[in-house]
Amino acid sequence: MSHLKNHLLAGAALLALPAVASAQPAEGFFDGFRLAPQQTVSGLYIGAGAGANFTNNTQLRSDSSLAAGLAANGIGGRGRAVFETGWTGVASLGWGFGNGLRVEVEGNFRQNDFDKVNRVNGANLNGRAGGFQRTYGAMANALYDFRIPGVPWFVPYVGGGVGYAWRDWDPLRVNGPDGAAISNTSRGGFAYQAIGGAAFPIASVPGLAITAEYRYFAMEPTDMRTSVINASGATVAAGRIRSVNENHSVLVGLRYAFNQPVPPPPPAPVAVAQPAPARTYLVFFDWDRADLTDRARQIIADAAQNARVVSSTRIEVSGHADRTGTAVYNQRLSVRRAEAVANELVRHGIGRNEITVQGFGFERPLVPTAMGVREPQNRRVEIVLR
């Protein structure tokens, strides 16, 4: 009953996958769910992976025709096979529908060494075991990729599959005090698996992705033909041993989707218009003077003309002084110099309401000096067109 329950659960999970896929937003339904091209597998793809395989310990149950021969040779009729860690490989060919849903056919292989057989329920089947268990499978899988907005490098997925598998014991040999049980046979049966993993697309190669995944793979119970030989090597009994085959696999691999669109280049940056830089004119004065020289009047005329060309909306006129004399005197002197420049601008057609006048004395020298030093470049008015 437990195995039938597992089969039903596996089938239900597979039937639910298309419904889950159809419940996802369609492309373009909500812009936030749009993906980079390398996130959505569309069309034909191939994949392969390899990794470690862990086979569950399994009970061995002999049929009635074998049990008597096992007991007669000190081996017993029941036990639990213990397996060493082995390896697995898979290869797949699939088709992606562009909306996250994928279907594929797969071939797989698993191999684990027998380690030992333990006693179960007091039976005397106990000792070192030799040989290999190999499993070959052909599966049909359905998978769904969960697309995460803004994370094109990580695509988790889940899925499952059903198919047929062949199980080889090559051979299972268990030694008892008076003989040995040997099973060197192959049997096939229904198989199913559950898959969970993630793809890591390589943006520089559209369609190529690294994959990492976990798989649970199992077969229906199989009857493995087994012989009993005595201490002299003669076959004294034959029959079948029934057991299950359950595996847990961890794999890494590569997947390549053909004919994937090349990601579009990033949009060109939009040029943002920058405000025109302020234009500054400097008018210099003689020491302790606020009257305009001929050169000063020429500079002011140029400033007035350009104010019209650049459509200036505000003109700042700031007076300054060098570091001779007192702070109070130089403050008044810098204002007088600024007013003289402002009046000349008005004479050239600039409205007085467009001009702001201020004086800074010797607080903002153009050339830093010690107190008492006459510096011609500090005796100035700055005209700034905004």
Predicted pLDDT of residue 238: 78
> What SS3 state is found at 185?
strand
Phi, psi of 156 (to 5 degrees): -70, 155
Residue that the structure tokens 């003989």 belong to: 179
Can you tell me the distance from the alpha carbon of 209 to that of 202, in angstroms, rounded to the nearest whole number? 5
Task: Please state at what angle helix 294-309 crosses helix 327-347, rounded to 10 degrees.
Answer: 60
Can you tell me the distance from the alpha carbon of 382 to that of 363, in angstroms, rounded to the nearest whole number? 14
Can you tell me the distance from the alpha carbon of 231 to that of 307, in angstroms, rounded to the nearest whole number? 116
Contact 382, 318 (CB under 8 A): yes
Beta carbons within 10 angstroms of residue 80's beta carbon: 18
Length in residues, the chain = 386
For residue 216, pLDDT over 90 is answered with yes
Can you tell me the distance from the alpha carbon of 226 to that of 239, in angstroms, rounded to the nearest whole number? 5
Predicted pLDDT of residue 40: 75
> What SS3 state is found at 255?
strand
State the maximum Cα–Cα separation within the chain, in Å, rounded to a whole number. 133
Name which of 72-81, 90-99, 119-128 the model is least confident about. Answer: 119-128
Beta carbons within 10 angstroms of residue 73's beta carbon: 20
For residue 217, pLDDT over 90 is answered with yes
Q: In CATH, what number does 2-257 get? A: 2.40.160.20
> What SS3 state is found at 327?
helix
Name which of 2-16, 128-142, 187-201, 276-290 the model is least confident about. Answer: 2-16
Residue 246, burial from CB neighbour count under 10 angstroms (0-12, 13-18, 19+): middle
For the segment 314-327, the average pLDDT, to the nearest whole number, is 90
Name which of 114-123, 316-325, 343-352 the model is least confident about. Answer: 114-123
Q: Which of 62, 72, 81, 78 is nearest to 120 (CA)?
A: 78
Q: How confident is the model at residue 46 (pLDDT cuts 50, 70, 90)?
A: very high
For the segment 248-262, the average pLDDT, to the nearest whole number, is 90
Q: How confident is the model at residue 93 (pLDDT cuts 50, 70, 90)?
A: very high
Predicted pLDDT of residue 262: 67
Torsion angle defined by CA atoms of residues 92, 6, 147 and 101, in that order, rounded to the nearest 10 degrees: 50
Predicted pLDDT of residue 121: 43
Contact 255, 91 (CB under 8 A): no
Instruction: Report the chain's mean pLDDT, rounded to a whole number.
Output: 81
pTM: 0.58
The CATH architecture assigned to 279-385 reads: 2-Layer Sandwich (3.30)
For the segment 42-50, the average pLDDT, to the nearest whole number, is 95
Contact 358, 368 (CB under 8 A): no
For residue 147, pLDDT over 50 is answered with yes
C-alpha distance from residue 273 to each of 20, 270, 309, 311 (Å): 48, 9, 19, 17
Predicted pLDDT of residue 162: 98
Residue 187 tokens read as 């049997």
Q: Which has more pLDDT, 113 or 238?
A: 113
H or E element, residue 169: strand 155-175
H or E element, residue 71: helix 64-72
In the sheet that holds 380-385, the strands lie side by side as 279-284, 380-385, 315-319, 355-359
Q: Which has more pLDDT, 166 or 262?
A: 166
Predicted pLDDT of residue 309: 80
Q: Which has more pLDDT, 229 or 291?
A: 291
Q: How confident is the model at residue 177 (pLDDT cuts 50, 70, 90)?
A: low
In terms of average pLDDT, the best of 65-69, 103-107, 202-206 is 103-107
For the segment 266-292, the average pLDDT, to the nearest whole number, is 79
Where in the chain are the domains? 2-257, 279-385
Can you tell me the distance from the alpha carbon of 352 to that of 356, in angstroms, rounded to the nearest whole number? 8
For the segment 312-317, the average pLDDT, to the nearest whole number, is 84
Beta carbons within 10 angstroms of residue 52's beta carbon: 12
Express each pLDDT in 344-362 by its tens digit: 988 988 888 888 999 999 9
Percent of the chain residues topping a pLDDT of 70: 78
For residue 80, pLDDT over 90 is answered with no
For residue 288, pLDDT over 70 is answered with yes
Can you tell me the distance from the alpha carbon of 369 to that of 160, in angstroms, rounded to the nearest whole number? 83
Phi, psi of 307 (to 5 degrees): -60, -35
For residue 125, pLDDT over 60 is answered with no
Contact 181, 228 (CB under 8 A): yes
